[in-house]
Amino acid sequence: MDAREFLGMEPIGDDLHWRLVATPELSTPGKFLFGGCGLGAGLVALEAAAGRPTVWATAQYLSYAPTNSVVDYEVTLAVIGGHVTQARATARVDGNEILTVNSALGSGQTGIGGVWVNRPNVPAPEDCPRRRLPEMFTNSILDTIDVRVAKGRMFEDLEGSQGDADSALWARVPGHLAPSAATLAIFGDYVSGSVSQPIGLRVMGRSLDNTLRVAQLRPTEWVLCDIRIHAIIDGYAQGNAFLWSQDGELLATASQSMGVRLWPGEGPPGR
């Protein structure tokens, strides 16, 4: 299974026009399209239209695509250079713009380079507990992806005490997706789910943006999402993730800004 098949992306007439249905398997528990799936679908369309792999892409979330709604993507190849294509994909539901993806696509300019960040020392995925989900999270994207907790707290362990701002998850799609920028975009959206880790409280988040920078694509069954929350101030959070293969190769970095609020009834102990 590749990302195009997993997301149900289909071209409409040509490679500049695409469509998906926001099925429950691609949706959040809040019954709208998961942000990482929205970005990933845009990358499927952009790479097909440009004929080049993703180097960088950022999604700005303007509104929601309700579960079971039809999402239409239109690609604009703004500048086609010798090595890089600058392009954007605009997603609409019933004619209303809900998501814009801006991107740069290209490869093969030089053979020099390196990686100057280190993968955290965590147990292998088979040695990590499966993440336990509240009942409200079933029949959603969070139920579709297999996640193991390599570092950090489970939902039921969040009792209001402050904790480490760094956490780590192993993630895979059962049946395994071939490595792609779209796959990494889906996993990169787990940054928003880690806002609870440093504050020890369950929160709901709305991604304002979602940025992916692809280093390299390598075959891997599991992707390690090494997540760091930087700040939570005035109802907004910022964080990023390094995405690693099982063999310890850096695949990509992802970052987000999010609006956050506490779950109903959630609050510090002794409130």
Residue of 48, 36, 45, 41 whose CA lies nearest to 21: 41
Query: CA-CA distance, 49 to 89, in Å (whole number)?
Result: 10
Tens of pLDDT, residue by residue over 76-127, are 999 999 999 999 999 999 999 999 999 999 987 777 889 999 999 999 999 9
Q: pTM for the whole thing?
A: 0.94
Q: Domains (ranges, CATH) in the chain?
A: 3-106 (2.40.160.210), 125-262 (3.10.129.10)
Q: Please give the pLDDT value at position 154.
A: 92
